[in-house]
Structure 1
Amino acid sequence: MKVWHVALLVSTLWLYAEGFTFLSPLSLGISRPQRGLSRCQRAPGGSWTRGGRSRLHASSRGALGVFSEPDPPPENILKAVDRAGGRVTVADVATSAGVSLNEAKKQLNVLAQLADGNLEVSKDGELVYVFSAGFRNELLSRSAKKRIQQGWDKVAPILFYMVKVSFGIALISSIALIFTAILVLQSSSRDDRDDRRGYSSGGGFSFYMGPSYWWGPSPFDIFYFSSSSPYGVNRYDNPSQLSFLESVFSFLFGDGNPNANFEQRRYKALANLIRAKGGVVTAEEVAGYLDPPAEPDEDKLVDESFVLPALTQLGGMPEVTESGDIVYVFEDLQLSAAAANDQGWEKLSLQELTKLAKSEGISTRGVYEKDDLLAVIRAARETRSVKSNQEGDRVATYLDEKPFQFSLATSGQQLAVGALAAVNLFGALYLGNLFASPYLVGRELIGLLGFVKAIYPLLLAYGVAFVAVPAARYLKLQADNRKIEKRNRLRALWAFALRKGGRNLERKLTEARKRSQGVKLIKEQDIEYTTGKSIEEQGLDLKAWDAKYLNKDEK
């Protein structure tokens, strides 16, 4: 590809990403109302100044551009906001998306900036993020990076498929190149011997596929024997999700990590468990979701340091009970606006409500009206809440990590690829033996043979790597699977110990339940200030507001 082709492609993508904002009135020096400021701003002296009506707008795309704007939130964050109906707390998103509280807060701030979100402040100073029903479209229109990401998501599967297929093509090409060179060399050798003996076969190219005794055993000798392969075998009787060319890539490098989203699963399950337990849990209750280093022992003190990752990610604090036991309190996880979000559902269309119901596994069969669908969603959530409260202390569940598979290709495909890899390596070694023979000493090879001899080190390295890489990967997978099996076994043992119970465990669980609290719902009537309205519209006393929160900060 020419350099100017690349430059044209890059410039085109840049113009598309920027949305041609270099021609905007702002970039041409034409002033317009500023919209990038929050409603209340603290002046240098500490007091609050009045602002016009605005939202948490991103800076002008003409000024920011694709290279300076923040990265858009990942899909799991967007889905969490979708499921909650657009009105969420940091804890709601962390619980639904399976991320830490800090990560949820960071991504919500970015989303509020890019998707025109609002902030609400409750009477207790708690923050609620509010997004419109079409926040995804708003994000797409305002974020150049999101548009590029969406385009890449469409192209990436095609490119990745081409990369995977190229490994299969490369293997077949290597075999064809190697054995073509072997055939040419063997044919040339026989022609030279016949000429020296005064024998002529009438001219032309002689193609011989039988056993060779001058060069030693030939890899083509296997074709000298006929095989009685079954007739009429239909390969579609046992179809595979992978084509043969894709199976070559799978054989070499595998098919990815089956536990790629394990951390999200872990913290999503933990956050939901902690909420169901009233925000207070014991080490035994969360051990099935973490990585305890040893088996549980009722008669010995257990090192509970394995709980630290949960405390760090989900904002927990250890507390010592009157009996000397340790329980873990997660106050920040108990704040929620999603459960009190009926007004958010009302704003959704019938199609959006149907999508929300399906994402939560709620059946919408026979429901065609918006009001009926709202009632179904509310009833389903209330049922789940009651069921969660009735589960009690013996929820002995744990997370399983999935073992690695060597390849998702069928056994027949793996056998075929392995055989081709062996044939390729054997052919490369045999070709090297031919190149090193006395017959070729002092001869200059041209054409195909010259090309093959020039790249022979690469062909040999490729053949060795094609055998060595899967072999090394297989050994590593075996070691990794043994570690996974051990972790799964320990989690299962802790879950069993929780179900079995014991005197010390009963005491700890009782203390934890005494300290538990329900989820604190932040409703519409609890909101004291919102960035969705001006100060005048809300009738907010800024001096009282300032004094209230300054005194709160001093305390």
Structure 2
Amino acid sequence: MSASTRKRTIIKAIRELNNRVTVADVVATTGLPLNEVTEELNSVAAQSQATLDVTDVGEVFYNFPPNFAMAYYAQGVKRVLLNAWNSIFKVLFFLFRISFGITLLLSFLFIFGTILLFQTVIAAGMGASHEVGAMWGDFGYLIKRIAMQDIVLWKKHDPSQEDASSGKSKQGFLLDCYSFLFGEGNPNEQLSENRWKLLAQVIRLNEGIIIAEHLPPYTGRPADDEPALFQVLSKFSGYPRLSESGQLIYVFPDMQQRSTNVSYTFMPEYIEEKPWQFSKMSPQALRPVLALAIGNFLGSLFFWWLCLFTHRVSKPPALFLFFAIYGTLFVLVPIIRLAIIRILNWRIARRNEMSRGFENLIGSPDKEVKSKLEDAEKIRRAFGAIPGNNIVYTTQKDYLEQLTDTK
């Protein structure tokens, strides 16, 4: 049975059982294996805002809202659309970044080239054409000095790898423009993947039996956040179990055996988000971009003065208006981004502080948490010692030879 068919079968069973089910109920209704039902039931519960009900005899019910199926399928469609949009957005955003780097050069060339052209006409009328020639030479040298000599170094490159002795960037002027405008992207792009790795390590470290307070330092959510808990249960095929004292303990059968080769010595006490950076480029590497951006902005202001106040041009061309607005935005965008980064880093600091506080739930447990930990240990002992890593068969040796060795 395919995964989609299995999900539909389980959703149908939940409806037939009036949206309040146990794992055993669904197994009896569908005839599916227990592990598959547990995994799929947790998945549906995580995406449909279901809750857990525990009876006085220790039976655990999944309580689904009336419109759970619609909510579940809506989440699935939303994920597909988000994945498609993320792929399209990456391409569009890359093209957007390229356009900024190239357009800055075109804007600078157009504005200062036009100004020099006006100066050439004026100087020619005054008989000082030799001075204009020197100005054009200086203009060409400026372009070469700032951008053109490094523009060919357009390749994938780590912005942190720079010439430490000279302070020059090894990636070229255009990519420096990207870094100046957009930075190097989200520093927490791998946060979700790292979060699941840490959660898996926590579960295995506790031999597949945990309490809700084990999770908050790595989920970033309170221990009583049921959607976050359901996601973990769904991800690692866990299920809730009621202890003798009435506490909910969470068991992950597939995560109970821990290899002795896996070390958790360097496991962090909580997951920490990295702060955003304006740019990984050094100030020396960004200086040419900043100089060109400011020069382009001042050049557009001077051109406005030349057109409007000297009355030499009655109506500025539309292309100039575009470049003038663009030059202004090229200065404003980094300033706005810097302000946004400060806000994002403030929020990241708050989330890190919250995760750090969650670590104390286990590090300095109160009476209730201590009771839960004791119950979890009792259940862990009740499960018994799980066979270790003694290999009883391997394809590296002949079967008869291994059989002889075990006798």
TM-score by length of 2: 0.57
Query: Conserved in 2, the CA contact under 8 Å of 1:421 and 1:466?
Result: yes
Query: Conserved in 2, the CA contact under 8 Å of 1:334 and 1:519?
Result: no
Q: 1:499 aligns with which of 350, 355, 363?
A: 363
Shift of the 400–235 alpha-carbon distance from structure 1 to 2, 3 Å rule, reads closer
1:170 equivalenced with 2:170 (yes/no): no
> Shift in Å at residue 190 of structure 1?
4.8
Query: Conserved in 2, the CA contact under 8 Å of 1:278 and 1:513?
Result: no
Matched position secondary structure for 1:484: helix
| Correspondence 1:16-415 to 2 at 5 A | 167-192=100-125, 194=126, 200=127, 204=129, 206-207=131-132, 236-238=165-167, 240=169, 242-292=171-221, 303-305=224-226, 306-331=228-253, 333-334=254-255, 382-384=260-262, 397-415=269-287
Work out the CA distance in 1 between the residues paired with 2:331 and 2:386: 57
Matched position secondary structure for 1:328: strand
Matched position secondary structure for 2:215: helix
Query: Match of 2:274, as an amino acid?
Result: K
Query: Match of 2:347, as an amino acid?
Result: K
> Shift in Å at residue 521 of structure 1?
9.2
Q: 1:418 aligns with which of 268, 274, 290?
A: 290
Work out the CA distance in 2 between the residues paired with 1:491 and 1:441: 62
Query: Match of 2:323, as an amino acid?
Result: L
Matched position secondary structure for 2:240: strand
Shift of the 457–280 alpha-carbon distance from structure 1 to 2, 3 Å rule, reads same
Q: What is the aligned length?
A: 282
Query: Match of 1:252, as an amino acid?
Result: L
Which structure 1 segments of 5+ residues have no match?
A: 1-89, 95-100, 103-155, 195-199, 211-219, 224-233, 294-301, 340-380, 444-451, 527-555
Query: Conserved in 1, the CA contact under 8 Å of 2:183 and 2:280?
Result: yes
Partner of 2:350: 486
Query: Conserved in 1, the CA contact under 8 Å of 2:240 and 2:248?
Result: yes
Matched position secondary structure for 1:259: coil
Which of the two has greater helix per residue? 2
Work out the CA distance in 2 between the residues paired with 1:497 and 1:442: 73
Query: Conserved in 1, the CA contact under 8 Å of 2:119 and 2:132?
Result: no
Shift of the 163–469 alpha-carbon distance from structure 1 to 2, 3 Å rule, reads closer
Matched position secondary structure for 1:439: coil
Query: Conserved in 1, the CA contact under 8 Å of 2:211 and 2:373?
Result: yes
Query: Match of 1:253, as an amino acid?
Result: F
Work out the CA distance in 2 between the residues paired with 1:235 and 1:244: 17
Work out the CA distance in 2 between the residues paired with 1:496 and 1:463: 51
> Deviations 1:456-490 (Å, cap 9, x if unpaired)?
12212221221222222222221111111111111
> Shift in Å at residue 287 of structure 1?
1.3
Work out the CA distance in 2 between the residues paired with 1:239 and 1:413: 5
Query: Conserved in 1, the CA contact under 8 Å of 2:361 and 2:369?
Result: no
Work out the CA distance in 2 between the residues paired with 1:454 and 1:494: 58
Matched position secondary structure for 1:322: coil
Larger radius of gyration: 1
Matched position secondary structure for 1:401: coil
Which structure 2 segments of 5+ residues have no match?
A: 1-34, 44-89, 143-162, 394-407
**RMSD of aligned Cα (Å):** 4.4
Query: Conserved in 1, the CA contact under 8 Å of 2:239 and 2:250?
Result: yes
Work out the CA distance in 2 between the residues paired with 1:240 and 1:412: 8
Query: Conserved in 1, the CA contact under 8 Å of 2:204 and 2:255?
Result: yes
TM-score by length of 1: 0.43
